[in-house]
Amino acid sequence: AAPKEIRNRVTEILQRAGGRPGHIFNLGHGVLPETPVEHVVAMVEAVHELSSR
């Protein structure tokens, strides 16, 4: 997935969470070894940029 698509999915997930306090955005059961590192970085950066603190 392109970084823009990853950012779009992060946005969608955060919108579904509805800004509820205590929502934790995590990687579930981890990251598969074949997952490109840049995809994980794009996701983490998007979560940090888009989530409220």
Q: Which two tokens stand for residue 17?
A: 């969470």
- The pair of structure tokens assigned to 45 is 């950066």
Q: How confident is the model at residue 53 (pLDDT cuts 50, 70, 90)?
A: low
4 part of a folded domain? yes
Query: At 40, is the secondary structure helix, strand, or coil?
Result: helix
Judged against a pLDDT cut of 90, whether residue 7 lies above it is answered with yes
- For residues 11 and 51, give the distance between their C-alpha atoms in angstroms, rounded to a whole number: 9
Q: Is 21 part of any domain?
A: no
Q: Is residue 23 part of a domain?
A: no
Domain containing 10 equals: 1-16+32-53
Would you state the pLDDT for residue 25? 87
Taking residue 31's Cβ as centre, other Cβ atoms within 10 Å add up to 13
Number of domains in the chain: 1
Cα separation, 2 vs 39, in Å, equals 8
Positive or negative torsion for Cα 38, 34, 8, 22:
negative
2, part of any domain: yes
Q: What pTM, to 2 d.p., does this model score? A: 0.81
Is 24 contained in some domain? no
